[in-house]
Amino acid sequence: MFTKTKFVPANMDTFLLVCFSIAIRAAISLHSYSGANTPPTYGDYEAQRHWQEITYNFPPRGWYKNSSNNDLEYWGLDYPPLTAYHSYVNAYIASKINSSYIDLKTSHGFESERHKTFMRSTVLAADVLIFLPACILVASFIDKVFKQNIFLQLCVLFITYPGLILIDNGHFQYNNISLGLLLLAVYFILNDSNNLAAFSFSLALNYKQMELYHALPFFTYLLQSCLVEN
């Protein structure tokens, strides 16, 4: 359906834009976050920390199961398994820095500047490893198709979107991962790599159930692709 294209290597302008966007995110990260100093349940920051606590201290079969040490009424893990495994990776790193970040039950509501730096860094890592590269790939494809020399403008539009920055790097969430995987799925579809698109979107959906909003167009397109091929 679409002509395949190769990714355009980032030039200096793109590199500077990425650095600028990371600097903005880092600056936002210096400020407060959802639920800071507001017991008893705190906010989304505590939810993400608590999921690290649960995934590190329980085997996978206990992550979603209510128990005396895993009270699902206190920020029970209610996101799909890929989020849980991401929390486990973060928890493993946290355990090497300071195990008190994820001590079972006694870490509820844990707050410190060093811990905030660690948590904020995990969001920035997701930006750098997943979301920003996906934005650049999609912008590169659109620029090649329309031949309007709009690559940099598209990168600015995607990378510096304030809503996502304020929610992820300010309020505290990891929407950048599911949206980055979604953008990768779009890129693969545009390049007629439907298997990779299906895999990438499946990862996005298994990270955050909100991607169900995007499921219908993906399902419809991939289904019609199968019918056309047959």
- The pLDDT tens digits of the residues spanning 150-200 come to 999 999 999 999 999 999 999 999 999 999 999 999 999 999 999 999 999
Task: Name residue, tokens 């997701």.
Answer: 126
Report the alpha-carbon distance of residue 159 to residue 97 in Å, rounded: 30
Sign of CA dihedral 213, 138, 120, 16: negative
pLDDT band at 9 (very low <50, low <70, confident <90, very high): very low
In the predicted model, what is the mean pLDDT of residues 81-109? 97
Cα–Cα distances in Å, from 95 out to 42, 54, 116, 119, 152? 22, 13, 15, 13, 40
pTM: 0.91
With CA atoms as reference, report the closest residue to 156 among 10, 14, 7: 14
Cβ pair 81, 206 in contact under 8 A = yes
103-128 core/surface letters (b: 16 or more CB in 10 A; e: else)? eeeebbebeeeebbebbbebbbebbe
The pair of structure tokens assigned to 48 is 């993400």
With CA atoms as reference, report the closest residue to 197 among 221, 229, 177, 224: 221
Sign of CA dihedral 90, 94, 100, 103: positive
